[in-house]
A and B are shown apart, each in its own frame.
Chain A
Amino acid sequence: MTLSSTARRTLAVLTAAVLVLIYLPLLVVVLNSVNPNQSMTWPIEGVTFEWWRRAADSAGVREALATSLQVAAIATGIALVLGTLLALALQRYSFFGKHSVNLLVILPIALPGVVTGIALNNGFRGILGIDLSLWTIVIAHATFCIVTVFNNVQARLRRMGTSLEEASADLGAGVFTTFRLVTLPQLRSALLAGGMLAFALSFDEIIVTTFTAGGGANTLPIWILNNMFRPNQAPVVNVVAVVLILFSIVPVWLAQRLSSDVEAAR
């Protein structure tokens, strides 16, 4: 299909316009991180680095960031293992109830967060009788992160076909050897993409987290929620957001590079 140059140009302009729209609110955040007025305003009333200094001094932010990274990392790890297992099972075998399992995996992300939140909260406290803690957040996050890994791995498995695995088996490699040397390397970029999305999802999740967080466990979104509603803290939150955006460019860029290298080589 050949697109006319007008069509190409229209698409390019549209894309640029949407990108501008995506970044405008972020610009508001960046500007307000140096705004002397402590409630977010437009236009800003001056320039001050007071909030940046305060954010740098804030131990609460650092702790919350560490908690969030920890939760996201563990939840992503669990999701990677469980999601890959499920994708292998569903893509490589057919069995009774396969469709239900497929639906079940999608459910935690397809059902609204507030439903998942109160269900898990009730489940942890009412049924299992365990106190909410960091681990209940991890379990909740892993549950809805499985689907992103599952999706990516399943799509890759479908494209891969089974010929290489069969060849490996024919050549005498055992099940584990085949998985380690044939299947896994081909899955690498899918795992990366799924893992990234799972990590991002967990890192910024607030609704399910509110319902499953124990007393001492403050993830970054919870810290932000608490501090947005405190006098003189809202601008510090803006600083944190700006820093997050800046730092996120590195992993996103790297991941994109890695996956496209693999992509290009295939």
Chain B
Amino acid sequence: MSTTSSVPDAHEGARNDQAPAPAPRGPVARPGSRLLHRWVWLRLSLLLSAPLAWMVLIYVVALAALLITSLWSVDSLSSEIDRTWTLDNFRTLIENEVYRNVTVRTVGVALAVTVIDVAIALPIAFYMAKVASPRARRMLVVAVLTPLWASYLVKVFSWRVVLSEGGLAEWSGLGSPGYGLTAVVITQAYIWLPYVILPIFAALERVPDSLLEAAGDLGAPTSMVVRSIVMPLLVPGIVAGAIFSFSLTLGDYITVNIVGGANQMLGNLVFVNAGAANNLPLAAAIAMIPIVVMLVLLTAIRRTGALENI
């Protein structure tokens, strides 16, 4: 396949298609189109209605129902849900030390994963976007994307092999931390790394080379260029990647089962309670913890204005 011919230039395509059409089409446009042109709100509501209906009817309703469920309880005899309002589930969460510990542990792991991923992704994404030749860049993007297709479970299990006693990590002389929280952090950082590299790479790609060159020509030192030109354009990409890795780690319960030793995370508690004795109300209450964590985080980020640019 040749590099140039198969996909027509977007602009050219548009122009070619339009060429045979008579230029002044204003008055001939169909009535529906004219109506839409005039009524902005109509255009807007047509655009918004389908996606909003989808999100609200499916997702918001489900989340609201979950919140309500967390205020119910389970009758221990019939194991049916008892629909009288109670704060018992939340009381359990507050009074039992174990939920606090697990929350701290989970948030800690998610933070560690996020920091590691961003730290690794930054130089890589920079190299891909600004240093590598276009050809090498394409190869690198493919190289980063390809592991996404090897199943998540298979990758986690292969880390189990790598970190086991006498496994690849020890065998190579690096030593292994054994199964535990460190292993969870390593594995999760590995799994979500492509999801962090990609948005940062995309953000960097958008930084025009000319801008950097101009700054350089005007005598700005590299550190200053990075701080005042690259970073502001980069922050949205970093935020997007960080949200991805943080939230994906926050809800994971499979990795910790496979390489986490005897530890449990919030995801495990939700999973166990949604199943065990069918205590959906308690599971829903526990699920409120990551929801609150994420909402606080998202609001904080929105204050900085980074969210709009994701």
Contact = CB atoms under 8 A, between A and B. Distances in A.
Given A1-B222, A105-B55, A115-B270, A182 B123 contact: no
- Band of interface residues on B: 35 or more
B134 A42 contact: no
Interface in B254-268: 254, 266-267
Contacts of B29: 172-174, 177
B154 A238 contact: yes
B171 A42 contact: yes
B123 A40 contact: no
Interface in A55-79: none
B151 A111 contact: no
Interface string B262-297: 000011001100100000100110010011001000
A265 B251 CA distance: 41
A34 interface: no
A154 B293 CA distance: 26
Interface in A214-229: 220-221, 224-225, 228
A261 B4 contact: yes
Contact of A119 (B4, B62, B160, B226): B62
A89 B47 contact: yes
B99 interface: no
Contact of A110 (B25, B69, B150, B298): B298
A113 B240 CA distance: 17
A42 B255 CA distance: 20
A123 B157 contact: no
Contact of A85 (B51, B213, B283, B310): B51
Nearest to A220: B151
Contact of B190 (A22, A182, A237): A22
B131 A8 contact: yes
B63 to A, nearest CB: 5
Contacts of B77: none
B251 A244 contact: no
A225 B153 contact: yes
Interchain residue pairs A-B with the least CB separation, the first 5: A112-B251, A174-B33, A123-B62, A248-B149, A172-B26
Given A95-B44, A107-B59, A119-B62, 19 more contacts: A14-B123, A15-B123, A42-B168, A85-B51, A106-B243, A108-B59, A110-B243, A111-B247, A111-B251, A111-B290, A111-B294, A155-B202, A172-B29, A173-B29, A186-B14, A189-B10, A200-B145, A237-B151, A256-B142
6 contacts: A23-B147, A83-B51, A107-B59, A182-B14, A258-B7, A260-B134
Interface of A: 1-3, 8, 11-12, 14-15, 18-19, 21-26, 28-29, 32, 40-43, 81-83, 85-86, 88-89, 93, 95, 99, 101-116, 118-124, 126-127, 139, 142-143, 146, 151, 155, 159, 169, 171-177, 181-182, 185-186, 188-189, 197, 200, 203-204, 206-207, 211, 220-221, 224-225, 228, 234, 237-238, 240-242, 244-245, 247-249, 252-253, 256-258, 260-262, 264-266
